[in-house]
Structure 1
Amino acid sequence: MVHSSLLHSTDTIVALATAAGKGAISVIRLSGPRAIHICQSVFHGKNLLEQASHTIHFGTIRDGSRVVDEVLVSLFVAPHSYTKENVVEISCHGSDFIVQEIIKLLLQKGARLASAGEFTKRAFLNGKFDLAQAEAVADLIAADSSKAHEVAMNQMRGGFSAEIKALRTQLIHFASLIELELDFGEEDVEFADRLALENLILELQRLIRNLLQSFALGNVIKNGVPTVIAGKPNAGKSTLLNVLLNEEKAIVSDIPGTTRDFIEDEISIEGILFRFIDTAGLRETQDKVEAIGVERSRQKIEEAALILYLFDVNELSPEALALEIQSLKAGYKPVLAVANKVDLAATIDRTAYEAVAPVLFIAATDKTGINELKQELLKTVNQGNLNTGSGTIVTNLRHYASLEQTYQALDSVLVGLSSGITGDFLAADIRRALYALGEITGDITTDDLLDNIFSKFCIGK
């Protein structure tokens, strides 16, 4: 497919590649056929046009006779660069004024400002990598846990794309045989073995079903697990939050109802990001401010993926716990029951509580049972699945939608095979499946799709 985006490939683009703001250095990136020429026109040092790729050169950037800054210039000569075009990276001092002055000079010499994600978009259009790998670049930049980094790195290196292309290749083989049958329609011949095609479709559906099922875990890895710490006032929710975060984030007091609004922060537990939300204690109250906090707590419980119900083991009976858990499970979300303040209890009938639900027993004030709680949180999000099968995990909603479309199209192929429909209808359903798979890797794209994907990237990437 020819993209209209390619009509602009003769432009040389420029953008700040590092984060805006003051720092030790900033990096300004140019890409395009005239990148080296444009940089040379403002650079005083070695003649960049005569230097080898992957070399770094010291010099000054000048506006006429005025020295703007001392810089290091890194050269990447096409096709040996991120975009497969000539790329220049100017490392200057991290002053907003200096950055603006250098970019202004480069624009005057013929460059234009890059649009969001345009460097990566050019890398895709020039065949550096496919669309799924390009999207993984953004995920890698956004990764804030080891598992999110691991999954993004695997996708950027083509692990996910390889599986999709393998599925597509097998399907193309049968599609071509059925298309060949259409050319000999009058002779009533079959080149495609219908039984073999049915077996292939069933196997493809099995593989796609595994990928679809991985999305729930992939979404957790990419975006974190919103986990509400709920419970009655003075159960120790704020203390537990502080212990998990290892800092005094929430105010702790013996006075019930201290937390009037929710407090939120994140921690990574063995590579999985958990977004903990400490909420106001759940109770009926005449205090208008506290009542608003309780209502917000209930809203956060509705939005959460996991509810950690904390209770004072000295105050809540097993029978009362059963009622509390039943009310929280109205949304069919996993509820982890945690009995707190075991250090203050003379005796605890653990069997009675465990008859109601699996219960963890902790003492948040002295950190008893906290490591066991973390392990239980990991088990709840099913971390073990990360190491099963191929390890490929779907984290992108666009990919998930395309895989669902593929699965449905393959279902139509199976229905057609069982009802003995003609090859032209089978071919149409197979083409629909191929199209949906092709959208994932970029074998099938539209400019609107590309614009939507790359508009979410930062400008310098």
Structure 2
Amino acid sequence: MILQDTIVALATPSGAGAIAVIRVSGKNAIKVAEEVFESVKGKKLTKQKTHTLHLGHIVDGDRVIDQVLTSLFKGPNSYTGEDTVEISCHGSTFIQQQIIQLLLRKGCKMAQAGEFTMRAFLNGKLDLSQAEAVADLIASDNEASHQIAMQQMRGGFSSEIAKLREELLNFASLIELELDFSEEDVEFADRTQFRELIQRIEFVLKRLIDSFAVGNVIKNGIPVAIVGEPNVGKSTLLNALLNEERAIVSEIAGTTRDTIEDELVIDGIGFRFIDTAGIRETKDVVESIGIQKTFEKIEAAQVVIYLIDGGKLNESTLEKIKVEVEKLKNQYPLKPLLVVCNKRDLLSEEQITSCQTYIPELLFMSAKEKEGVEGLKDSLLSFVNTGALRNNETIVTNTRHYDALLKALEEIEKVKWGLQTNISADLMAIDIRQALYYFGEITGQVSNDELLGNIFANFCIGK
């Protein structure tokens, strides 16, 4: 990637539409745009002010390609920090390609994935965690993931890390200074204040690390496996939750032979529901494969809904269900388990009370009549700690950040142990340097080409 190049790419999704935006950035962006743009008022782009719009035509010699609106952003007051031109043209794929090919012939290079945002990072417009938040913002498909990405892009996470790093760096400087006067046995760093800082850093790091569990499910959605015996209404439940006929429903046991997945946003949180094949003894080879996949999906899920048929309940079946529920709890002790009795409309109040004596946590609903669906949604939401989200606290969603925070905490705990045992300043300085290194990795104060390449390769072209 050569930052001296002027780059071009389609900034809007590929395909036909009402309009398309073609973005050009680099030291020659305005000059190149001027060569292909004719203003309706005869203006020259190189002589115009930044942050202005200009109506005109894109021309290739005597040939007019399209009427366009050109936006001008002069560096450093642009997204990339460089001179940037955005051409809004009609959304024909032919027109898009004609304009891009013309700009390439005029000396532009096609932008690589994420190159505009990488230039923004390298030019100091964003730090690395903010740049990564741009990709998260584009990928956000529910309110919660959007809120987290916006907070990170505004620098909420970065500022918290940067402040801790700055305070630690100040003490590190004093510790390093002590090494220069080691023969005189002096202490420049107040050990009491240093202990307080280390405790505060440790507290913040643990809070951020703990938030990853919530952040990860909000970003990627919460996988929920719907399991149970054949023909208890799993597919009907999936259809009721999604409010559409997503899964095939029939009276024939074993209709669902493969897993069916779909997503639903409940109160801003994404849930990924997985309708699985019914669990039973079978000689059908295809159905057996589906049942095996059911257990694989239970392993991958974070919440399990165990569905039972209310129309077939009696003392014998309730005892059997109770055993199956206990088996699931023992097999997956860390997974929240919702035991749901479907076909509530077939049960009397007396039968419902009787069922609850066997399985107190039993939820009742009728998927076919869509009765009790909202109660089930509320139960699912109860498994997600949205308190941090509501309080606008910093939530970690990025695996790279999570890994760096874990490593930073490990080094901070070494420093804490060093303070307790009064180890020498030179050994303590090594641990402090490592902690500072991991802090810097998050915001990009410490980076390398391989790291940047891995991060920006996941971006879309044109961003």
Q: Distance in 1 between matches of 2:434 and 2:354?
A: 57
2:6 alignment counterpart: 12
* Unaligned residue ranges in structure 2 (runs of 5+): none
Equivalent position to 1:27, from 13, 21, 26: 21
Task: Describe the superposition over 1:78-128 as per-residue Cα deviations: whole angstroms up to 9, x where unpaired.
Answer: 122111111101111222222222111111111111111010011111111
**Which residue of 181, 185, 202 corresponds with 2:182?**
185
Instruction: Classify the secondary structure of the residue corresponding to 1:365.
Output: coil
SS at match of 2:312: coil
Q: How does 1:255-294 map to 2 (within 5 A)?
A: 255-294=252-291
Other-structure match for 2:377: 374
Give 1:13 deviation, angstroms: 0.7
1:66 is matched with: 63
| Deviation per residue, 1:323-372 (Å, 9 max, x gap) | 22223231331111111111111332436536535221111111211111
Report if aligned partners of 1:337, 1:357 keep a CA contact under 8 Å in 2: no
Query: What one-letter code is carried by the residue in structure 1 that aligns with 2:323?
Result: L
Indicate which of 392, 395, 403 corresponds to 1:393: 395
TM-score, normalized by length of structure 1? 0.95
Amino acid across the alignment from 2:201 = L
Q: Give the equivalent residue in structure 2 for 1:452.
A: 454
Relative distance call for 1:397 and 1:351 in structure 2 (3 A) is: farther
1: distance between equivalents of 2:298 and 2:112?
A: 40
* Distance in 2, Cα, partners of 1:158 & 1:89: 26
**Other-structure match for 1:249:** 246
Matching residue's letter, 2:150: M
- Structure 1 counterpart of 2:435: 433
Cα separation, 2, equivalents of 1:384 and 1:439: 28
State how 1:163-202 maps to structure 2 within 5 Å.
163-202=160-199
Deviations 1:299-321 (A, max 9, x none): 11111111111111232443222
User: Hey, what's the Cα distance between the residues in 1 that align with 2:232 and 2:385?
Assistant: 27
3-state secondary structure, aligned to 1:459: coil
Residue aligning to 1:209: 206
Deviation at 1:391, TM superposition (A): 1.0
Counterparts of residues 133-152 of structure 1 (less than 5 Å): 133-152=130-149
For residues 354 and 392 of structure 1, what CA distance do their matches in structure 2 show?
43
CA distance in 2, matches of 1:259, 1:248: 14
Judged with a 3 Å threshold, the aligned counterparts in structure 2 of structure 1 residues 240 and 312 are, in CA distance, closer, same or farther, namely same
Report the TM-score, using the length of structure 2 for normalisation. 0.95
Q: Which residue does 1:108 correspond to in 2? A: 105
1:393-424, Cα deviation, whole Å (9 max, x unpaired): 00000000000010000111122222221101
From the superposition, tell whether residues 318 and 54 of structure 1 become closer, same or farther in structure 2 (CA, over 3 Å): same
Write the letter of the residue equivalent to 1:350: T
**Residues 68 and 90 in structure 2, CA contact (< 8 A), matched pair in contact too:** yes
2:300 paired with 1:303: yes
Q: 1:318 to 1:194 in 2, by over 3 A?
A: farther
Distance across 1 between alignment mates of 2:24 and 2:262: 38
Q: Deviations over 1:240-274 (max 9, x none)?
A: 11111111111111222111111111010000000
In 2: Cα distance, 1:313 partner to 1:194 partner: 66
Conserved? CA contact 1:240–1:364, under 8 Å: yes
What letter corresponds to residue 365 of structure 1 in structure 2? Answer: K
User: Offset of 1:140 from its aligned partner?
Assistant: 0.2
CA distance, structure 1, for counterparts of residue 76 and residue 192 of structure 2: 46
CA deviation map 1:133-190 (0-9, x unaligned): 1100000000000000000000000111111111112211211110110111110001
Q: Check the 8 A contact 1:318/1:353 in 2, yes or no.
A: no
What SS class does the counterpart of residue 367 from structure 1 fall into? coil
Q: CA RMSD in A?
A: 1.5
Q: Which residue of 1 aligns with 2:319?
A: 319
SS at match of 2:171: helix
Matched, 1:36 2:30: yes
Superposed counterparts of 1:67-146, under 5 Å: 67-146=64-143
Output one character per residue of 1:174-224: Cα deviation in whole Å (capped at 9) or x when no partner: 111101101111100011122322222122111110110000110011000
